[in-house]
Amino acid sequence: MVETRREAIISNFEGNHEHYESFTEIVYDLVVQLLHENGFKYHTIERRTKSVESLGTKLKKSPEKYHELSDITDLCGVRIITYFADDVDPIAAAIESEFAIDRARSEDKRKLVDPERFGYVSLHYVAKLSRQRSKLTEYKKFANNIVEIQLRSILQHAWAEIEHDLGYKGPQAIPAEVRHQFSRLAGLLELGDDEFMRIRQGLATYQKDVSAQIKASPSEVLIDALSLLSFIRSSDLVNRLDERIIKEFKLEGEDNEPDSNWVISLLRAGGLRTIDELERNLKDNSRTLLKFGRGFIERDVPTPKGISILLLGYYLAAKNQPLEEINQLFPDKYLQNWVREAKTVIQKMGDLG
């Protein structure tokens, strides 16, 4: 009886496998659209439709559990992997608003309280298309299909993938010492998730406060990506110099901001470390930058915000660094060539007096 039922379930699934694959793609597309429309950042979205072979293995392991195909909730699956653990709940709320969630068969493994727990913690929804969507012509044939939607952070995902690769099946199946190692690793990954969230919050706070810090004490603000962009956006000096350079060399001004890593590497090679040093050098070299630009800037090219700072970076890096140090300072060959060109221009400026 059990064998006959298993064969019937497999035959049903095999005969409709293309339908299930189509449903998986439908759900995947809806989830991608939902996350994009709501502005959610995420690492990846995965999808898969269970193979006939995998279903057969599942039914053999639990022959009494499944009586018909609709009892199996993971024939179609979509997995959302977030960068941070606290991104899961906002995305989950969006999923709940667009899908009909089967609460009885869904599971939030993050709520496990057993300190000896093993395995990854993630949120598993068993869901259908919403009633409203199921009425639409293109979705009617999928109205009764079930999908498993998983949400977890990238560290939780790493845990799941590694333990799957190790063939781990539960605490009773492995030696005590290995169980101890699993427990320690689980704690480290949980701590890692917490620390990444704190780092993100710290960066958000710094980004919010750095503009005021620049105004109050620019000599204490180091040049980094956030402080540099804040200075570019708020500095009247940068704005005036940019406008002069764009007008003088007939450039195409853009709203795009410069590659911070590129600019910072030039400024540091030029000996600048703080926003105060950057501002003073812009003032002191404003005329020199125009002269330098005449031999250096290519005409009719798009120009990012902060072009004056970028030009200053090239000028100071080329002026202060010996030719033989350029390759070591700037791994990017394109940047190496530009710095060499800047050095040539500076030499010509010296020849012209």
Domain assignment present for 200: no
The answer on 22 and 58 residing in a single domain is yes
The answer on 117 and 31 residing in a single domain is yes
Least confident window among 124-128, 227-231, 323-327: 323-327
Q: Which tens digit of pLDDT belongs to each residue from 171-203?
A: 566 677 776 777 777 778 878 888 999 998 998
Domain assignment present for 82: yes
Least confident window among 19-23, 79-83, 120-124: 120-124
pTM above 0.75, yes or no: no
Using a 10 angstrom Cβ sphere, with 0-12 exposed, 13-18 middle and 19 or more buried, the burial of residue 21 is middle
The answer on 239 and 102 residing in a single domain is no
The answer on 222 and 189 residing in a single domain is no
The answer on 180 and 288 residing in a single domain is no
Specify whether the CB–CB gap between 252 and 304 falls below 8 A: no
Radius of gyration for the alpha carbons in the chain, expressed in angstroms and rounded = 29
CATH number, domain containing residue 175: 3.30.460.10
351 confidence band (pLDDT: 50, 70, 90): very low
18: left (phi over 0), alpha (psi -120 to 50) or beta: alpha
Residue 118 phi/psi, 5° resolution?
-125, 160
Q: Which tens digit of pLDDT belongs to each residue from 89-98?
A: 999 999 999 9
Q: Which tens digit of pLDDT belongs to each residue from 248-278?
A: 888 877 777 778 888 999 999 999 999 999 9
What is the residue range of 223's domain? 218-351
325 confidence band (pLDDT: 50, 70, 90): confident
The answer on 145 and 92 residing in a single domain is yes
The answer on 306 and 175 residing in a single domain is no
Final residue before a domain boundary, out of 145, 176, 193 = 193
The answer on 261 and 112 residing in a single domain is no
Quote the tokens at residue 293.
């630009």
The answer on 66 and 154 residing in a single domain is yes
Residue with structure tokens 């060539």?
337
The answer on 247 and 129 residing in a single domain is no
The answer on 52 and 125 residing in a single domain is yes
pLDDT of residue 171: 57
Q: Which tens digit of pLDDT belongs to each residue from 133-147?
A: 999 999 999 999 999
Mean pLDDT of the chain: 88
The total domain count for the chain is 2
Domain assignment present for 270: yes
The answer on 247 and 155 residing in a single domain is no
Least confident window among 47-51, 133-137, 164-168, 203-207: 164-168
Write out the H or E segment, with its range, that includes residue 107. strand 107-108
Domain assignment present for 51: yes
